[in-house]
Amino acid sequence: MAHDMTPQWITDIIAVAPWLGAFCFAGFIIWKVGPVLRKWGRFLDRINGVPEDKKSGQKEIPGLFERMDRQDELLETIRHELFPNSGKSLRDAVDKQHKQLEDHLAQCPPPTTTINVNPPGGTP
């Protein structure tokens, strides 16, 4: 008898309530988890790289290992210039100039005049 007294719209809501609850729960999960998944997606794009897309104007983003390879090449170039090698590095050129200066100074006679920073009679 109690079933006959329940309005039809309440019975309809009771039948739809689990689906409505599941839909709301799924929306909540997407709302909360969506930004985290987008951040992870951007992170993975930075790790793996993104190819150039001319249609959308997206420039190529090199992956982590490509960027590290470029840095290794740059470091190798810097090392080549900093340490003596076959005469082509900056260090070799500086050493050559230093040796030429030392040889030139060794051939020059010592200076005949001296510079006295303290004037006679003391400072006024």
Domain range summary for the chain, segments of one domain joined by +: 15-51, 62-107
Looking at residue 88, what is its pLDDT? 82
**With the CA atoms of 29, 31, 36 and 37 taken in that order, what torsion angle do they form, in degrees rounded to the nearest 10?**
80
Calculate the alpha carbon distances from 124 to 83, 114, 116, 117, 121 in Å: 52, 22, 16, 14, 8
**pLDDT in 10s for each residue of the chain, 124 residues:** 455 777 888 888 888 899 999 999 999 999 999 999 999 999 999 999 999 989 998 899 999 999 999 999 999 999 988 888 888 888 899 999 999 999 999 999 988 887 877 777 766 6
pTM for the structure as a whole = 0.52
